[in-house]
Amino acid sequence: MSDTATTGQAATAAHPAGVRPGRRGRRTDWRAVGAFAVLTAPTVLGLGLFKYVAIGWSFLLSFSEARGTVDLGSWIGFDNYTFLLKDEAFRSSMTGIILFTIFIVPVTFGLSLGLAVLLHGMRRGRAFFRTSFLIPAAVSYVVAALIWKMSLFNGLPSGVANTIGGLFGWDVQSWIASTDPPLYWIVIITVRLWLQVGLYMILFLAGLQAIPVHLYEAASLDGASRWAQFRHITLPMLRNTSVAILMLILIAAFQAFDEFYNVFMTTTGNSTAPVRPPLVFLYDTALKGQDYGVGSAGAFLLTLLIVLVTLLQGRLVGFGRKD
């Protein structure tokens, strides 16, 4: 609407000789409407068909008994939901992902911010390090997980981790198969950090570069220490960036799939994995086990959890609140 109004005003300015272009602005410009429809229709239709219809269908499926079929019809109310909430495997999958999130989010956040600040303070070689840290973000999760599993952390004395351990006189460890102690967390967490930290670091770096230098100069003149400058200038000025990144990390954590799936995968699938995040659990249930009803119900429970946590986070750190 504001666009047509502007056009109207511009027209008035350009043709002051008694024409009443204002009316023209109010008349529907069918060509524009047509162009709008033509240009947006593919996206709207695509989204509608492949996203919203699918989501709606899945929602209906979550109230049906749907084994090996996606036909609706055998309604069973909330049975799929109660089954999942009573299922020890699904519950431990959900609590597992919450604990994982509580750990991984601050670590990813802290490391990316720390690296960005270090890099921002460098005088030379910034471009080199920036690129080096960003490159892993372009690597596929599957490929990285397989490198971690088969090369870095394999259970042979010749594996990279075991070779390094050997230098310190440690025993040969089975990094993924051993559950007591759960060494597999080292594998999962390092691969995730390696893949993700670079990208968030770049976002932080962009935020840091937007902070006016004179703020730091003024603070230095006032005798503020480096820490005080970080605490009172950098962090507050990065607030919007931080909140956005925090949300991205949080959602990425809840959606963890690839590295868990591939690190623990065996010939028979993921049934012997010591941890199965919800997406792996749901993949096994819906696509391997062909139980689309329970799979859909689980997807909506996970969505509910993500929405709740995101809202809570918005409450706590004030996402979208105006300064």
Residue whose CB is less far from another protein, 109 or 261:
261
Minimum separation from the CB atom of position 202 to another protein (A): 33
Is residue 150 part of the contact set for another protein (CB under 8 A)? yes
Query: What are the CA-CA distances from residue 310 to residues 152, 203, 246, 291, 321 (Å)?
Result: 35, 20, 10, 29, 14
Is residue 34 part of the contact set for another protein (CB under 8 A)? no
Is residue 93 part of the contact set for another protein (CB under 8 A)? no
The window from 18-26, 49-57, 81-89, 305-313 that contacts another protein (CB under 8 A) reads 81-89
Minimum separation from the CB atom of position 52 to another protein (A): 20
* Backbone dihedral angles phi then psi of residue 307, each to the nearest 5 degrees: -60, -45
From CA 181, how far away is CA 173, in angstroms rounded?
11
Is residue 176 part of the contact set for another protein (CB under 8 A)? yes
The size of the interface with another protein (CB under 8 A), counted in residues, is 39
The window from 45-53, 169-177, 229-237, 297-305 that contacts another protein (CB under 8 A) reads 169-177
Task: Tokens for 289, please give them.
Answer: 């086990």
What b/e string do you get for 13-34 counting C-beta neighbours within 10 Å, with b at 16 or more?
Answer: eeeeeeeeeeeebeeeeeeeee
What b/e string do you get for 113-149 counting C-beta neighbours within 10 Å, with b at 16 or more?
Answer: bebbbebbeeeeeeeeebeebeebeeeebeebbbebb
Task: Tokens for 208, please give them.
Answer: 């840091």
Residue whose CB is less far from another protein, 249 or 297:
297
Minimum separation from the CB atom of position 25 to another protein (A): 25
Residue 193 near residue 108 (C-beta atoms within 8 A): yes
Closest CA to 84 of 276, 279, 282, 251: 282
Minimum separation from the CB atom of position 167 to another protein (A): 15
Is residue 82 part of the contact set for another protein (CB under 8 A)? no
User: Mask 246-275, x = binds another protein (CB under 8 A)?
Assistant: ------------------x-xxxx-xx-x-
Q: What residues line the site for another protein (CB under 8 A)?
A: 67-70, 87-89, 149-151, 153-157, 159, 172, 174-180, 264, 266-269, 271-272, 274, 284-285, 287-291
